[in-house]
A = this chain, B = another copy of it.
Amino acid sequence: MKILILSANDFEDMELFVPYYRFKEEGFAVDVASKKRQTLEGRHDYEIEANRAFDEINPEEYDMLFLPGGKAPAKVRKEDSALQIVRHFIDKNKPIVTICHGPQIMISAGVVHGRHMTCWPEVSKELKEAGAIYEDKEVVVDGNIVSSRMASDLPLFLREVMKKATATV
C-alpha cells in the first residue's frame, strides 16, 4: 500500500499528521507532495517534508490519495498538476480520502458532482454548488471517496480509511 498526500504550507497539523502516523504504524509507504519539494509548516507550527513535487508524481504508483485540510487546499487547488492527480484517482476508481478543506481540491478538479460527501462546514456551500450531495456527518463514504469534517472526526474517518486501505492491498 502506497499513499500520496497533497498539501502545502498552512496545513491543519493534526489532520495531516494523525493519518500520516497511522499509515506509518500500519507499515504503508507515504509520500508527501507539494508544488515543489520543501519543508511545509502547519498552522500550529509542526513541520513535514514534502519529498515530492506535484509535477514529478506518477499517480499510477499510488494506491490511495489523501487530501488533508487547513489553508493548504486553497493553494493546492490552483495547481493543475495536482488536479490531474486527483482526476487519475477518480478515473481509476482508487480511494480518495479527505477531511476539512481538502474537498476544495476535488471541487477544482471537477470530480464531486453527484457524490455523497462532507467537509468543513464553511466549505459546504461551495461543495453543494459543485453538485455534491452534502451530508453533515462525521464521516461519509461514497464508493472510493471517504470524507470527514474536522479533526475531532479523525477516529471515525480513520476507521473507514483503513477499511479502504486494507481492501485495496
Q: How far is the CA of A45 from the CA of B18 in the complex (A)?
A: 16
Interface residues of A in 23-53 (CB under 8 A from B): 24-25, 44-46
The interface bits of chain A over 154-166 (1 if a CB of B lies within 8 angstroms of the residue's CB, else 0) are: 1110110010000
**Do the beta carbons of A155 and B21 come within 8 Å of each other?**
yes
Interface residues of A in 120-169 (CB under 8 A from B): 154-156, 158-159, 162
Interface size on A, residues (CB 8 A): 17
Question: In the complex, what residues of B have CB within 8 A of residue A14's CB?
Answer: 13-14, 17, 46
Residue A78 at the chain B interface, CB threshold 8 Å = no
Report the minimum CB–CB distance from A46 to chain B (whole Å).
7
**Do the beta carbons of B44 and A158 come within 8 Å of each other?**
no
Residue A22 at the chain B interface, CB threshold 8 Å = yes
Question: In the complex, what residues of B have CB within 8 A of residue A13's CB?
Answer: 13-14, 44
Given contacts A13-B13, A13-B14, A44-B44, 9 further A-B contacts (CB under 8 A): A14-B14, A14-B17, A18-B22, A21-B155, A21-B158, A22-B25, A22-B155, A24-B154, A44-B46
The chain A residues found within 8 Å of chain B, CB to CB, are 13-14, 17-18, 21-22, 24-25, 44-46, 154-156, 158-159, 162
Can you offer 26 A-B residue contacts whose CB atoms are under 8 A? A13-B13, A13-B14, A13-B44, A14-B14, A14-B17, A14-B46, A17-B18, A18-B18, A18-B21, A18-B22, A21-B154, A21-B155, A21-B158, A22-B22, A22-B25, A22-B155, A24-B154, A25-B154, A25-B155, A25-B156, A25-B158, A25-B159, A25-B162, A44-B44, A44-B45, A44-B46
